[in-house]
Structure 1
Amino acid sequence: MAIRLQMLTEDPKEIELIERYWAVDESGQYLEKVSALEGIVEMAQGVTLASFIRQRCNAFDENQVCPKCAGLVEIKNRSQAKKVSQPSIKLCTLCQEDQDAIALEAQKAKAAELARQLTEYVRKQSTRTVDYSTIADRQVLLLLALDRAVTPRLTHGGFTVGDCRGLAPRYVGDFLQQLREAGLVLDDPTKARPGTYYWEGDEIWMFRDQVVYRLAPDAASRSADEVIRSLQDRVYTDAEGLFTLWLDYSVADVMRYLGAQCALYNHELSERELEEINSTLRSALETYSVSQLWSVVWKVVRDAASLANREYYNRPKAAATIPGKIRRNLEKVQRESIELKAWSRPEQHPAGTLGMVLGEILGVDENTSGHRVSSLVTWFTGQACSPTVEAELHEPVRELMTIALAHDVGSSVMLRFAELIRAGHDVGSAVEEIGSALRS
């Protein structure tokens, strides 16, 4: 092993120290220990021997050559030296400086292109407007809920996803993304902190949590406050859209409870397992209430916790059973017509402003069944009395009444119909269920 030295000092004592530090025998072993060399030259407090020598000498290992130019590679301390000749993964000082300079120029070019692209993006954003009288019903409710969650930032300034935590129990980013995709909220790069946007490949990327959003300007040039006030007088007509929004929110409400219960027992679920549970719960919510599904989640998570303590089981294996257990539990409930219990909302689990708005507009909460919500939305939007619905119901109602009168059970049919409507069924499903029972 041979070390080539380039002295940066003329002090004889320092030169002697440096040469003794790097001196080796024929086998490549250092002649003197570091501890034996300390104290030869006075050094400032806190300065190590290696750093002291590094400031006064450049050392090059003749056993390591630059992979680019075959020049000697500089080493900083004894541990970096090699006893036998071998290819180096490091570049020599000059080649590294050249590479750093090229990388710096590329970085500057990326920064310049990013600035140009963002300037153009901001220019296009400034010309976008929205006719708020034409937006979908579900978007109206989302905006009203968002206004409550971030007041006054929705109408005066900007806000981030983190500011919207009070919007819903979970999936806040997804709800905000719905408004972003509809062009109702715009991101404002001029208000984001440095580093929020970056250039990757040929595209602008961003850190979503740092993006600053604002309400899109009104096409009629009304202020943001006026826009929100006008939405409060909305006449709703889209039953399907409102019910879908309720499902989105209710799934978030149940999944938030699931997350809390799993955390309590240290159950960790994969993204795939969470998606499976999400799908199962969404389907179940068309029939049951949020509070009823809380009771299902409570039971299943505790069953998994008990399973984790059995022989040949562990916590990950037990957690993996949760998606299937939820599905099978709901299948049994439906098959055997079991009455699900309803759990009360935990104090640490608020409904969120979207839940509050849905409650005020539709008169629903965590105890309202999916059947009931569907019926309420249908009546609220006027769809229950629409000509299309009436036409669709004409033949089924006629057939039902004919069968009921033929069997002299008219009064029983009407009482059962009223019972189903009170339970949340719409007219169509109530007629279908009674008709099926009479025909069987």
Structure 2
Amino acid sequence: MKKDLYMTIRLQMLTEDPKEIELIERYWAVDEFGQYLEKVSALAGLIEMAQGVTLTSFIRQRCNAFDENQVCPKCAELIEIKNRSQAKKLPQPAIKLCTLCQKDQDDIALEAKRSKAAELERQLAEFCRNQSTLTVDYSAISDAHVLMLLALDRAITPRLANGGFTIGDCRGLAPLYIGDFVLQLREAGLVLDDPSKARPGTYYWEGDEIWMVRDQVVYRLAPDAESRSADEVIRSLSDRVYTDAEGIFNLWLDYSAADVMRYLGIQCELYNHELTEQELEEIKSTLRSALETYSVSQLWSVVWKVVRDAASLANREYYNRPKAAATIPGKIRRNLEKVRRESIELKSWSRPDQHPAGTLGMVLGEILSVDENTSGHMVSSLVTWLTGQGCSPSVGAELDEPIRELMTIALAHDVSSSVMLRFAELIRAGHDVGFAIEEIGETLRS
């Protein structure tokens, strides 16, 4: 290596041309204060270079430069630099490794990456082998899972029976939370991962665990324990006799909550309200509970009112849009509390054109004869009758005595017409028969 009197840079020449060597030395030469003696613009015209080649790249091809003020933290050799901006005026620990140490480190990292990739491939192959042995007795699966599979088949036909599918293929299943519905089927073992069909990068290492990009996972219907084709399985599910009232009603609540939350999202987007994940979960919980009483369309009207109230609040002094949006969860809860306390009849909103029902809603609608205008109380009653639980003599017997007592009091006070009108009003508001009888009875006794 050759060192100039005024240089803090050691140069390793890769050329023997005197003019090129002179240009390189002048490029790197500094004064006693560490300032470069000549500007790059002044040096550029001293030698002929190919069109498009910069002075820095020309010099880099003909010389290796090492900064005496920077040493490798691993081996203490000088650090190679590519241009003037990388040089340091004063000695200091280098952040990066020298070229040889960096190459050694890169080689180790590359080998570790290759080893991890091989291990990932091995584990995925073993996973596929294990998956291939799994079968399902479709006659024993829950009513809710039957309905979800029938809806999924409609959403992606014929892919459920004939091939793999991703969550993105299931957009028609429900208005929102599509991944959650598919995950329920996955956790039940009814749909299986198919890593062999997933695109590269779907499965990856995160520390010592294998993670996945959920939206890229390819799923397939689990094989039937009786070796029937997927088409035969789907046809057999269509003939199901339903018996699980609680499971079906909970599925309706999950679907309906997604229907209302989709509407909330549309309204919030319209008014630029941004809600946190925690706030959305709080709202979802409140609405799912309210759906046990009211219809989807009635809760759309609640959402519509609350979101607009928040938009109006955002324009007030001392308020801004984030603060206003943060009031939405509490406003929905308080609004529903007032409606229930005062027996207010909620209005019903029509389904927006850009907000389709989803195939799960269609399947539930067909077996229960319900839609977004059906109250939760009515759905619960219909599910009870569908599953045969409404045939029990005890169901009606529980109401015999309260009804008899209510009518006796109404006739005694000559208010039977008023009682019937109030009864109809409470039912329209989404309350069940038991609540309506109790509410009217307490009013008459007070």
TM-score (norm 1): 0.93
Distance (whole Å) between structure 2 residues aligned to residue 106 and residue 43 of structure 1: 42
Deviation at 1:41, TM superposition (A): 2.6
Aligned to 2:143: 137
**CA displacement, residues 367-415 of structure 1 (integer Å, 9 cap, x when unaligned):** 11111111111111111124xxx45765x44643664586585996996
- Determine if the alignment matches structure 1 residue 182 to structure 2 residue 188: yes
Alignment partner of 2:211 out of 205, 213, 219: 205
The correspondence of residues 26-425 of structure 1 with structure 2, limited to 5 A, is: 26-386=32-392, 390-391=393-394, 394=397, 396-397=398-399, 399-400=401-402, 403=405, 407=409, 409=411
Measure the CA separation in 2 of the matches of 1:439 and 1:45.
101
Q: Is the Cα contact below 8 Å between 2:407 and 2:416 reproduced in 1?
A: no
Q: Measured at CA, do residues 3 and 175 of structure 1 come closer, stay the same or move farther in structure 2, by a change above 3 Å?
A: same
Judge conservation of contact 1:362–1:377 (CA < 8 Å) in 2: yes
Going from structure 1 to structure 2, the CA distance change for 1:185 and 1:342 (only over 3 Å counts) comes to: same
Structure 2 stretches of 5 or more lacking a match? 1-6
Secondary structure of 2:67 counterpart: strand
Taking the aligned partners of 2:370 and 2:231, their CA distance within structure 1 comes to 27
User: How many percent of aligned residue pairs carry the same amino acid?
Assistant: 81
Inter-CA distance 285–335: structure 2 relative to 1 (3 Å threshold): same
**Change over 3 Å in CA distance of 1:332–1:163 after alignment to 2:** same
More deviation, 35-44/114-123: 35-44
Encode CA deviations 1:310-365: one digit per residue, 9 max, x unaligned: 11111111111111111111111112221111111110111111111111111111
State the partner residue of 1:20. 26
Structure 1 184/298 Cα, relative in aligned 2: closer, same or farther at 3 Å? same
Separation of aligned partners in 2, 1:337 and 1:433: 9
Figure out how many residues of one structure are paired with residues of the other and give that number: 436
CA RMSD, Structure 1 to Structure 2 (Å): 2.4
Within 1, Cα distance between the matches of 2:349 and 2:430?
19
The alpha-carbon deviation at position 260 of structure 1 amounts to 0.8
Moved more, 200-209 or 110-119: 200-209
How far apart, CA to CA, are the structure 2 residues paired with 1:217 and 1:425? 44
Q: Secondary structure at the match of 1:73?
A: strand
Asked if the contact 1:188–1:212 (Cα under 8 Å) also holds between the matched residues in 2, the reply is: yes
Q: Is the CA contact 2:165–2:220 (under 8 Å) kept in the aligned structure 1?
A: yes
2: CA distance, partners of 1:193 / 1:332: 52
**Normalising by structure 2, what TM-score?**
0.92
C-alpha distance after superposition, 1:87-141 (max 9, x if no partner): 1110111111111111111111111110110011000000000011111111111
- Change in 2 beyond 3 A, CA 1:402/1:265: closer
Aligned residue for 2:32, secondary structure, equals coil
- Counterpart CA distance in 1 for 2:34 and 2:42 is 18
Structure 2 counterpart of 1:63, one-letter code: N
- Cα deviations by residue, 1:2-57 (Å, 9 ceiling, x for unpaired): 00111122222222221111111110001111111112233233222212222221
Q: Give unmatched runs, 5+ long, in structure 1.
A: none
Distance in 1, Cα, partners of 2:212 & 2:77? 41
Q: CA 1:377/1:211 → structure 2, altered by over 3 Å: closer, same or farther?
A: same
Quote the Cα distance in structure 2 between the aligned partners of 1:401 and 1:327. 32
How much does 1:237 deviate? Answer: 0.8
Displacement of 1:427 in angstroms is 6.5
Deviations 1:204-251 (A, max 9, x none): 111001100000000000000111111111111111111111110111
